[in-house]
Structure 1
Amino acid sequence: MHYLPYSLALSCLLSLAQDNVLAAPSASASPLPRAIPLVRRAAAQRNASELSSWLSRQKEILEAKYSGSAAQRKRASGFNLLTNQNADSSFYGSIAVGTPAISYDVILDTGSSDLWLAASDGVSTTSDGIPTFDSTASSTFTDLDTTFSISYGSGAARGTLGKDAVQFAGFEVDQQTFGVVTQVSTDLLSAPVSGLMGLGFASIAASGATPFWQTLADNDGTLDSPLMAFQLTRFVDTTTSNALQPGGTFNLGAVNTSLFTGAIDYQDIPSGEEGYWIQELAALTVNGNSVTLDSGSGAYAAIDTGTTLVGGPQDAVSALYAQIEGSAPLTGNEGYWSYPCSTNVNVTMKFGSSSIAWPISNADFLLQQLSQDTCVGAFFALSTAGTSAPPWIVGDTFLKNVYSVFRSSPASVGFATLSAEALAMNGKTGAAPSATVGAVSATVTGSTANSGTDRSSSANGAPPSVGASVYALWAAALVSGLVGGAVML
C-alpha cells in the first residue's frame, strides 16, 4: 500500500467530514403540516490541525443530527445514478423542482427526513458554484410563511418553508413541502450540492412534512413495492481519483436484481421505532473475536446513508480496538483510534435475528493512512447520552459492502450480497452523473396541511422495463471503461 504524506493524509480525513455536514441535520422548525446514481469528489489537501478539527466534527455532526427528537397513474419504479463525493465521504443524487422544472444535486440521507434547498436570495455567491433555488422562477411555488431551521455540529441552515412540484427518480409529488434556506453557516454547502433530501420517516421531520418517498409509498398503487435501495461504490482505496466519481445506483419502488445475488435478508424495525431506519446490532466481531454488546434498545443502530463512518458506544468501540494489536486512542481526537497499517482488520456485523454476519472490507475500515505505519480506523466512539438517538450510527463504511434496501411495509431494512457487476464498479473512474430533469412515471399530491435552466444528465427515472435496460448498458460501459457519464432517456 502506498502511504500519503502526513499532512495530505490528514487533509483527506478533513475533506470527508465536509460532506457529512450536509447529511447530518438535527432540525427544528415550526411544525407544518425511482433510482438515482451517486458521485464522489476528490479530497482537498489540508494540514494536520485541520485533520484534528475534522475528526472532532464527525462526532459533533452525528451528535447534533440525532439529538432532536393524489392523483396517480399506474404503478412504477425508477432509478437515478449516484455521485461519489470526496473518496466515499458522501453520496448524492438529483431532484428537479418547480415549474418549469430545474434540477439540483442533493445528499440522499436515510438518517433524516427533511428536504431543503439553498435559496437564490441568501446563500450563493458568484464564486461558490452552488446552484440555488429561485422561488420566483416557479409558477407553482407556494410560500408557507413558516420559519425553518436545521442545526448541525458545525453550523446551521435557516429559512422558510414552501411547497412546489418535486421530481425524483421518475416520480413527482406536486405539493411537496421543503425548506428554502437563506442562511447557511460557512462551508455547510460544497458545490455542486444544493441541499439535502431526507429519506427517514415523517415522525422525525422537523418541518412536520411527509418525506417525498413516504408520500409515494403511502399512496397505494403508485410504487411497485414500498421500498428504496442503494448500491454504493468504493473509491477510498484508490490512489488517484477525480473529485466526483460514479457513485452507484439508487432505486425507488423496486430493487435492481443485477446488483445483488441471493435473497435480501430483511429484519423488521423494532416495534414503535419507525423514525430512523433502526436495526438491533446483534453481533460484532473483529478478526474472529466477538465484541460484547448491550441488548435491546442499548444495541439499536440507525442505518444512515448520510453518514460516512460507524459510530458507537465508547465501551464497545474500545473493546473492538482492543482486539487489534498495536491500536491506541488518537491523541487530540477523543473517540478515534489509530492502529498499525500492516494489520488486516476484518469486522463483521449481524443485525436482528439474522444468522448472517455481514463483513466490512479492510479497505473501508482503514479510514486514512497517516504515515508509513499508522492508520486511523473508521469506527469511533459516539456519545448520544441524553438524546433520542440510538447508540449506534451505521454509515457508508458498512453500506458500501452490501446492497441495502429500506422497506416501509412491513417496516424493515434488508441487506444482500453485492453482485460481481456491482463490485466491478468500485474504483472505476469516469465522468460523474450530473443533475437532471427526467421523465415522470407517476404523480401524486403531497400533504397540504397548514398550508429554469435544465442541466442534462442521467435519467431521473423511467418505467421499469426501460430503466433496467438503460442501466445495464450504462453499467457495462462503465465497467469496461468506455464511458462514465450520464444516461439519457
Structure 2
Amino acid sequence: MNLRRRVHSRSVDDWGVWAKNHREGLMAKYGHTTGTSKRSSGTNLYVPPSINLTKIAVIRPPESPTKAGIPVFLAPLAIGTPPVSYDVILDTGSADLWVAGNTCTTGCSSVPTFDSSTSSSFTDKGTAFSIEYGSGEARGTLASDTVQMAGFSVSNQVFAVVDQVSSGLLTSPVSGLLGLAWQSIAASGATPFAQTLASGTSWDSPVMSFQLTRFLNQSKTQEFQAGGTFTMGFVNTTLYTGDIEFINMPVTNSYWILPITAITVQGNSVTVPSGTDSYAAIDTGTTLVGGPSDQIANIYAQIPNSQPGTGNYEGYYLYLNFLLACGTSVTVTFSFGGKTWAVSPADFEVQEVSRGTCLGAFFSLTTGDSAPAWIVGDTFLKNVYSVFKFSPPSVGFAQLSDYSLSMNGNVNLEVPSATIGSVSAFATAGSVDTNRNSAVSLRAPSLLFTIAMTIWAILAI
C-alpha cells in the first residue's frame, strides 16, 4: 500500500517539548510508571497525520530546504454494519483497538467519531477501559462489532469506544489506534484483529509486513505525501530484494521481540548485554530508538562532540557538526543474530535543533519489568522491509528493492485515499481472557486481493 505524510513547522523550543513527550510517552507505553501490562491477502495505503507526536519541518539555515520525515503509521479500517471507515494508528507495540465515540465529551471535537447506533452488529460490553500516554489518556468502554480492513472482516471483534481524550491526543482525521501485537498484552483481553486473521484460514500466510518511506530535505513536499506499504497475509516481492532473514522470537505471544546481538557506531563495535537485557520490541508505533542509559551512552561515546541533553532533552544526546550540518555524519548498524542492518545517517539525525547542533535518534529510557529493555521504532524500520510472522513467531528483515527506494522523497507519487471495498475473507473474533480486572488499562503514549486504504505516516517532529 502507498503512504501519505503531513509536514508541520515547529520552533526549536517545540522540538524540546516534542522530545520530552516522546520519551515520557514511550516509557508510559512500556510500563515504566506502574509496571502494568498493556495491552488470502490484503494491502493498505499509508498517510501521515498531525498529532502532537507529528514530525515537523524545521529550516536548517533559512536558505536550505526543510527536513521532514520519521513516520508513525495509520490506516483506515471499517467498523459496523454497514461499515464506516476510520483512520487509526498502526502499532506493533500494543494489542488493542480503540476509536473515539460520538458521545466523546472532551478531546474529540475535530475527529471522525464512531456512532454505535448506526451499526446493527454493535454490542456494548459495559467494561471500563482506559489508555494512558505520557502526554494524556483516553477513557471509554469495551464493545464488540464487525471490523474490516484490506478485504478482511472479523465479526465480534472487541474494541474500546472512547468518550474522553486528553487535549491534543487526537487530531483529525485520526480516530484511534490498532494494536498489532499479541493477545497476552491486550488490555481488553481480546484476541487482536490481526492475530485472529493469522490464526485462521483468511490469510494465505500468517504474516504482515511494512515498507516505510522517508522524506528528507524536500522543499516541495505537500501537507500529505505517499509514505509506504502495509500488507496482510503475504509479502510483496516488489518491495524487497534477496531473502527475508527471519529470527525466531526469544519470547513469544507478547511484544514482537528480537535480541540485539551486535551494534556498531561509525564502524566501531559497541558492547551489548546478553539475555533479557538485549531484548528489543520492534515497534511501528514508535518514532525513534530507546534503550538502557548505559548502552545509549556507549553509542554516543563513539560520536565525536556528543553530549547528554538537559531540560526537555534529558535522556537524549546532542552532537556538533558544523561542517555537515548534521546531514551525513553518523552510521549505526544492528544485528539480531544474523545479517547486519544499517540505519541511514539521515534517520539517525532527528533534527538540527540549532546551528550545527544535532539531536540524535537514540535515547535512554526505562521500561517496566515485563517489557523489553530496547524499543526499536521507525528510525530503524525505514531502512528495511520488515515482516511479522505469527507462526512460527518471528520477525524478518530484507533489503529494500530499488522500487521501494525510489519512493523516498518522491513528492510526485499520488496520495492514496481511503476506500471500503468488498470483503474476500471472514473470521470470527477469538477468545477473551477474562482473568482480568473489570476496569482494564493500556499504557501507551498486510496479492490475491488488494484494496487501497489510506494510512498516515506521521512525520514526527
TM normalised by structure 2 equals: 0.85
Are the counterparts in 2 of residues 305 and 399 from structure 1 also a CA contact under 8 Å? yes
> What amino acid does structure 2 have at the position aligned with 1:310?
V
> What amino acid does structure 1 have at the position aligned with 2:394?
S
Shift of 1:247: 1.5
2:354 is paired with a residue whose SS is coil
CA distance in 2, matches of 1:450, 1:383: 28
Are the counterparts in 2 of residues 112 and 199 from structure 1 also a CA contact under 8 Å? yes
Aligned residue number for residue 61 of structure 1:
25
Q: Which stretch of the first structure deviates more once superposed, 173-182 or 432-441?
A: 432-441
Match of 1:328 among 307, 312, 321: 307
CA distance in 2, matches of 1:445, 1:368: 45
Aligned residue number for residue 290 of structure 1:
269
Does the alignment pair 1:302 with 2:281?
yes
Are the counterparts in 1 of residues 106 and 164 from structure 2 also a CA contact under 8 Å? no
Are the counterparts in 2 of residues 230 and 405 from structure 1 also a CA contact under 8 Å? yes
Are the counterparts in 1 of residues 12 and 354 from structure 2 also a CA contact under 8 Å? no
Aligned residue number for residue 15 of structure 2:
51
TM normalised by structure 1 equals: 0.80
> What amino acid does structure 1 have at the position aligned with 2:299?
L
CA distance in 2, matches of 1:180, 1:195: 9
Gaps of 5+ in 1: 1-35, 70-75, 452-460, 475-489
Aligned residue number for residue 277 of structure 1:
256
Aligned residue number for residue 258 of structure 1:
238
CA distance in 1, matches of 2:433, 2:290: 37
Change (3 A) 1:237 1:110: farther
CA distance in 1, matches of 2:217, 2:247: 30
Shift of 1:450: 8.9
Does the alignment pair 1:247 with 2:227?
yes
Match of 1:168 among 149, 173, 192: 149
1:370 is paired with a residue whose SS is strand
Are the counterparts in 1 of residues 290 and 376 from structure 2 also a CA contact under 8 Å? yes
Does the alignment pair 1:133 with 2:117?
no
Aligned residue number for residue 52 of structure 2:
none
Shift of 1:41: 1.2
1:53 is paired with a residue whose SS is helix
Shift of 1:255: 0.3
> What amino acid does structure 2 have at the position aligned with 1:146?
T
Q: Aligned ranges for residues 217-228 of structure 1 at < 5 Å? A: 217-219=198-200, 221-228=201-208
Does the alignment pair 1:210 with 2:191?
yes
Identity of paired residues, percent? 53
Aligned residue number for residue 345 of structure 1:
330
Are the counterparts in 1 of residues 107 and 165 from structure 2 also a CA contact under 8 Å? no
CA distance in 1, matches of 2:268, 2:102: 53
Are the counterparts in 1 of residues 107 and 168 from structure 2 also a CA contact under 8 Å? no
Aligned residue number for residue 178 of structure 1:
159
Shift of 1:55: 1.3
Change (3 A) 1:408 1:449: closer
Q: Which stretch of the first structure deviates more once superposed, 367-376 or 431-440?
A: 431-440
Shift of 1:59: 1.3
2:299 is paired with a residue whose SS is helix
Aligned residue number for residue 58 of structure 2:
none
2:6 is paired with a residue whose SS is coil
1:257 is paired with a residue whose SS is coil
CA distance in 2, matches of 1:227, 1:439: 21
CA distance in 1, matches of 2:293, 2:19: 15
Structure with more relative contact order (C-alpha pairs < 8 Å, separation 6 or more): 2
Residue by residue over 1:35-65, the C-alpha shift from the partner in whole angstroms, topping out at 9 and shown as x without a partner, is x5432211243x4433322211111111111
Residue by residue over 1:203-231, the C-alpha shift from the partner in whole angstroms, topping out at 9 and shown as x without a partner, is 00000010001011111x22110010000
Are the counterparts in 1 of residues 189 and 433 from structure 2 also a CA contact under 8 Å? no
Change (3 A) 1:194 1:291: same
Shift of 1:292: 1.1
Aligned residue number for residue 28 of structure 1:
none
Change (3 A) 1:100 1:448: farther
> What amino acid does structure 2 have at the position aligned with 1:58?
H
> What amino acid does structure 1 have at the position aligned with 2:5?
R
CA distance in 1, matches of 2:417, 2:402: 25
Are the counterparts in 1 of residues 281 and 374 from structure 2 also a CA contact under 8 Å? yes
Shift of 1:388: 1.7
Change (3 A) 1:370 1:447: same
> What amino acid does structure 1 have at the position aligned with 2:329?
N
More helix by share: 1
Change (3 A) 1:364 1:449: closer
Shift of 1:466: 5.3
Change (3 A) 1:168 1:155: same
> What amino acid does structure 2 have at the position aligned with 1:223?
W
CA distance in 1, matches of 2:347, 2:166: 30
| 4+ runs deviating over 6 angstroms | none
Q: Aligned ranges for residues 74-473 of structure 1 at < 5 Å? A: 76-85=40-49, 86=55, 87-123=69-105, 128-219=109-200, 221-270=201-250, 272-332=251-311, 333-341=313-321, 342=324, 344-351=329-336, 353-354=337-338, 356-384=339-367, 386-429=368-411, 430-447=413-430, 449=432, 464-465=447-448, 467=450
CA distance in 2, matches of 1:185, 1:435: 26
Residue by residue over 1:50-89, the C-alpha shift from the partner in whole angstroms, topping out at 9 and shown as x without a partner, is 33222111111111111032xxxxxx11101111344334
Shift of 1:431: 4.8
Shift of 1:240: 4.0
CA distance in 2, matches of 1:182, 1:398: 35
Shift of 1:448: 6.4
2:15 is paired with a residue whose SS is helix
Q: Which stretch of the first structure deviates more once superposed, 427-436 or 261-270?
A: 427-436
Residue by residue over 1:339-393, the C-alpha shift from the partner in whole angstroms, topping out at 9 and shown as x without a partner, is 1242611110000x21x11001011011001233111111111112x53211100
Q: Which stretch of the first structure deviates more once superposed, 50-59 or 361-370?
A: 50-59
Gaps of 5+ in 2: 50-54, 56-68, 435-445, 454-461
Shift of 1:181: 0.3
Are the counterparts in 2 of residues 267 and 279 from structure 1 also a CA contact under 8 Å? yes
Change (3 A) 1:239 1:347: farther
Shift of 1:400: 0.2
Are the counterparts in 2 of residues 37 and 93 from structure 1 also a CA contact under 8 Å? no
1:364 is paired with a residue whose SS is helix
CA distance in 2, matches of 1:308, 1:428: 21
CA distance in 2, matches of 1:60, 1:335: 10
